[in-house]
Amino acid sequence: MSKLSVRSFALSVDGYGAGPYQSRDAPLGKGGLALHEWMFATRTARKLMSGSPVFGEGSGETGVDDDFAARGFENVGAWIIGRNMFGPVRGPWPDESWRGWWGENPPYHTPVFVLTHHARKPLEMQGGTTFHFVTDGIESALRQARSAARAKDVRLGGGVSTLRQYLTAGLVDELHLAISPVLLGNGESLFAGLDLPRLGYRCARIVPGARATHVVVARE
pLDDT value at position 40?
93
Residue 144 and residue 121: Cα distance in Å, rounded? 15
What pLDDT, on the 0 to 100 scale, is given for residue 144?
A: 98
Residues 60-82 as b or e (16 or more Cβ within 10 Å = b): bbeebbbbbbbebbeebbbbbbb
- Indicate the residue type of 188: E
- Mean pLDDT on 179-192: 96
- The whole-number pLDDT of residue 220 equals 84
pLDDT tens for 129-143 read 999 999 999 999 999
Residue 50: per-residue pLDDT: 61
For residue 44, give the H/E element and its range: helix 43-48
> At 71, is the secondary structure helix, strand, or coil?
helix
pLDDT at 117: 96
Domains of the chain: 4-93+103-219 (3.40.430.10)
pLDDT given for residue 53 in this prediction? 45
Could you give the angle at the alpha carbon of 27 between the alpha carbons of 119 and 212, nearest 5°?
120
Task: Give dist(CA 136, CA 118) in Å, integer.
Answer: 10
Helices (H), ranges, 49-203: 64-71, 83-86, 138-149, 160-168
pLDDT tens digits, residue range 97-130?
999 988 899 999 999 999 999 999 999 999 999 9
Average pLDDT over residues 60-73: 96
